[in-house]
Amino acid sequence: MIIALETQSLEKQFGGLRVTRDLSLKIEQGARHALIGPNGAGKTTVINQLTGVLKPNSGRILLEGQDITDLPVHKRVLRGLSRTFQINQLYPDLTPLETIGLAVSERLGHGGDWWRRMGTRSDVNGEIADLLTRFHLLDVMNEQTVTLPYGKQRLLEIAVAIAAKPRVLLLDEPAAGVPESERHDILAVVGSLPRDVTVLLIEHDMDLVFSFADRISVLVSGALLTEGPPEQVARDPQVKAVYLGEEAVNV
Amino acid sequence: MSASSDVGYHAQRKARWHYGEAAFWLIVLACGFVFPTRYLIMTDILRLALFAMSLDLILGYAGIVSLGHAAFFGVGAYAAGLLALHGIINEPVLALVVAGLVAMVLGFATSFLVIRGVDLTRLMVTLGIALLLEALAERFSNITGGTDGLQGIEMQPIFSEIPFDMFGKTGFFYSLAVLFLLFLFARRVVHSPFGLSLRAIKNNPLRAAAIGIPVNRRLIAIYTLAAFYAGIAGALFTQTTAIASLDVFSFERSADLMLVLVIGGTGYLYGGLIGAVLFRMLQELFSTITPQYWQFWIGLVLVVIVLVGRQRLHRWMLYVPNLVIRQIAGRKAVVAVPESDA
């Protein structure tokens, strides 16, 4: 069993508030791993630490056995750790063609190329065309991102993360805010990710989690409550209590 | 694979030359022959255009605001002046490049202070650096000539062949050649993956880092390049006017530059050029009407532009042309798509 991504005793505090408590996760290579938990469990904080946006107070993060705890965001990406954002983080003025083109160029090491024009490298163009086709964005490739319908923006958000050819992909609520009619495209894309890519899914939607994940970790108040295959987690009385409790509050 | 070549075609869409651009440069060149009595003001516009293009590189593309861009202009101006005055480098073109490089070194050194902050911090840091240099230039008057400035600069012929004349004809065509070459270079840079990554950083630095862009390194690079451009503009100032005084560092110069760029529009390189022309023409117009209060009218124009332009502030120039083209040729044929943020 090869571990793609691992955290060791991760701790994060905002002032006096412990948002990540002694969190040790192991995500197997090729896994479809889901991280679930009620609102405010600290799921996004964990993602932000994994990707380097936030620095943990203590603990370590290992990517394929190598310590990446102190690496800046962009270097983690180049090592094969890529993410999508819960709320779209795109470039409003750029087109899907430019957005994906940039991500592909950066990965192939042409991003700092200041002399050669965009669009003159056939390897880059080929990959862009492939991604635009796979994510149903070919017809809108010259539109400004800000003008695209939300579903298309969501697809672009995922396409950008895939363009970095990650070995570990973090999906932060990929279907969040997407209308029912456009949901299918997103789910199909998420389902068709290559098997050798390790996926960590952060999700609220239990249908999506149970149809997708082969392993689930439950996060409550920043600490790991339980972990196991979906059937086991579904039966876990503690998990039921957490979610029933939450529902009871919601009602 | 057809989709791939299609992508290549569309990716180069913005990098292709348009007829309008060729026309623009031909008109500028023609001005040199049509108005032989106006070389001085036209040279002044060219210098300002180059200076504004420098600001456009950092503001329009990378989103770095600066209220102290005159720092690099001033360093370039004094460097060129000192090189010529002490006969260190007599050939103007070589001296120009060296002066630009001096400004570039300063740009590189100060870029580390500038990239750290957000907008307000950047405004203050850039402003501070320019004020600091102005004070230093005044303090070390034995080198800079203090408040009198550098006097007695005599320019040698360009390439030891073409002398500067008293009507400013040489100065005009020299400045035009420099502007055009640097424009070509900038145009190439902004349409490269590097240039695109700057726009991505301006749009969303968080996402830029999340696709593997080394944000700080890119910002340092463009800030350094812009400093080179501003230094060249400053050096041209000294070379074509044969004076360098403390006002090259002045806050007004930096602030005017911002006006020029807002008037012309940011993020498409021509903004600085068009803005320089409009700014100087407005200045001329208003100062003939009301010699004392011309700044009132400039201020009014600025307020109107910002209020009317709002969302399309940096492309407001293209609003009317695009409207016309849209009527005739449909939505896709616009000259440049207005960007959404200011």
Q: pLDDT tens digits, chain B, 342 residues: what are they?
A: 477 888 999 999 888 998 999 999 999 999 999 999 999 999 999 999 999 999 999 999 999 999 999 999 999 999 999 999 999 999 999 999 999 999 999 999 999 999 988 889 999 999 999 999 999 999 999 999 888 899 889 899 999 899 999 889 999 999 999 999 999 999 999 999 999 999 999 999 999 999 999 999 999 999 999 999 999 999 999 999 999 999 999 999 999 999 999 888 889 999 999 999 999 999 989 988 888 888 888 888 888 887 776 545 555 566 666 666 666 655 544 444 444 333
Q: Does any CB of chain B come closer than 8 Å to the CB of residue A190?
A: no
Please judge whether B209 and A74 are an interchain contact, meaning their C-beta atoms are less than 8 angstroms apart.
Answer: yes
| B268 in any annotated domain | yes
Element (H, E) at B122: helix B119-139
Please judge whether A113 and B193 are an interchain contact, meaning their C-beta atoms are less than 8 angstroms apart.
Answer: yes
Q: Quick one: tokens of A58?
A: 């203590």
Nearest to B191 among A118, A132, A142 (CB): A118
Q: How would DSSP label each residue in B11-70?
A: HTTTTS--HHHHHHHHHHHHHHHH-TT-HHHHHHHHHHHHHHHHHHIIIIIT----S-TH
Number of independent structural domains in chain B: 1
Q: Which residues of B touch A74 (CB under 8 A)?
A: 209-215
| B7 in any annotated domain | no
| B10 in any annotated domain | no
Q: What is the pLDDT of residue B314?
A: 53
Chain B residue with minimum CA distance to A126: B4
Mean pLDDT of A194-213: 89
Q: What is the pLDDT of residue B308?
A: 76
Question: CB–CB of A170/A139 below 8 Å?
Answer: no
Rounded distance, CA B149 to CA B145, Å? 5
The CATH number linked to B178 is 1.10.3470
Element (H, E) at A224: strand A223-228
Q: Which residues of A touch B222 (CB under 8 A)?
A: none
Chain A residue with minimum CA distance to B204: A91
Q: CB A144: neighbour CB atoms within 10 A?
A: 18
**pLDDT tens for each residue of A125-145:** 999 999 999 999 999 999 999
Chain A residue with minimum CA distance to B218: A112
Interface test with B, best of A79, A82, A114, A162 (most B CBs within 10 A): A114
Q: Does any CB of chain A come closer than 8 Å to the CB of residue B221?
A: yes
Least Cα separation, residue B60 to chain A (angstroms): 12
Can you tell me the ipTM of this complex?
0.88
- Letter string b/e over residues B184-201, b meaning 16 or more CB atoms within 10 A of that residue's CB: eebbebbbbbbbbbbbbb
Q: CB A17: neighbour CB atoms within 10 A?
A: 9
Nearest to B193 among A53, A82, A105 (CB): A105
CB proximity under 8 Å: A 122-181 to B: 122, 125-126, 128-130, 132-133, 138, 141-142, 144, 146, 160, 163-164
Nearest to A89 among B193, B204, B215 (CB): B204
Q: Does any CB of chain A come closer than 8 Å to the CB of residue B159?
A: no
How many CA atoms lie within 13 Å of B217's alpha carbon, on the beta-carbon side? 12
Nearest to A117 among B6, B15, B209 (CB): B15
Q: Which residues of B touch A97 (CB under 8 A)?
A: 7, 10-11
| B222 in any annotated domain | yes
Least Cα separation, residue B290 to chain A (angstroms): 41
Nearest to A113 among B192, B339, B340 (CB): B192
Amino acid identity, position B127? L
Q: Which residues of A touch B194 (CB under 8 A)?
A: 111-114
Please judge whether B212 and A146 are an interchain contact, meaning their C-beta atoms are less than 8 angstroms apart.
Answer: no
| B1 in any annotated domain | no
Rounded distance, CA B231 to CA A240, Å? 68
Rounded distance, CA B207 to CA A246, Å? 32
| B194 in any annotated domain | yes
Q: Which residue has the higher pLDDT, A36 or A208?
A: A36
Which residue do the tokens 């700014």 mark? B279
Q: Which residues of A touch B15 (CB under 8 A)?
A: 117-119
| B9 in any annotated domain | no
Question: CB–CB of A132/A99 below 8 Å?
Answer: no
Q: Does any CB of chain A come closer than 8 Å to the CB of residue B194?
A: yes
Q: What is the pLDDT of residue B342?
A: 32
Least Cα separation, residue A27 to chain B (angstroms): 21
Please judge whether B211 and A77 are an interchain contact, meaning their C-beta atoms are less than 8 angstroms apart.
Answer: yes
Q: Which positions ≥6 away from B122 have C-beta within 8 Å?
A: B64, B65, B66, B114
Please judge whether B188 and A133 are an interchain contact, meaning their C-beta atoms are less than 8 angstroms apart.
Answer: no
Residue from B74, B75, B65, B78 nearest B126 by CA = B65
The dihedral of CA B290, B294, B297, B301: what is its sign? Answer: positive
Least Cα separation, residue B89 to chain A (angstroms): 30
Chain A residue with minimum CA distance to B12: A119
A215-220 and A32-36 strand pairing? parallel
Range of the domain at B181: 18-329
**pLDDT tens for each residue of A96-121:** 999 999 999 999 999 889 988 888 89
Question: Residue A166: which pLDDT band, with cuts at 50, 70 and 90?
Answer: very high
Q: Which residues of A touch B190 (CB under 8 A)?
A: none
Rounded distance, CA B68 to CA B250, Å? 9
User: pTM (2 decimals)?
Assistant: 0.89
Please judge whether A107 and B214 are an interchain contact, meaning their C-beta atoms are less than 8 angstroms apart.
Answer: no
3-state secondary structure of A235: helix
| B144 in any annotated domain | yes
Q: Which positions ≥6 away from B127 have C-beta within 8 Å?
A: B67, B68, B251, B254
Q: What is the pLDDT of residue B324?
A: 67
3-state secondary structure of B162: strand
Please judge whether B11 and A115 are an interchain contact, meaning their C-beta atoms are less than 8 angstroms apart.
Answer: no
Please judge whether A103 and B212 are an interchain contact, meaning their C-beta atoms are less than 8 angstroms apart.
Answer: yes
3-state secondary structure of B262: helix
Question: CB–CB of A190/A178 below 8 Å?
Answer: no
3-state secondary structure of A226: strand
**pLDDT tens for each residue of A230-251:** 999 988 888 888 876 655 444 3
Least Cα separation, residue A108 to chain B (angstroms): 10
Q: CB B107: neighbour CB atoms within 10 A?
A: 27
Please judge whether B194 and A114 are an interchain contact, meaning their C-beta atoms are less than 8 angstroms apart.
Answer: yes
Q: Within chain B, how many helices (H) and strands (E) appear?
A: 15, 0
Q: Does any CB of chain A come closer than 8 Å to the CB of residue B185?
A: no
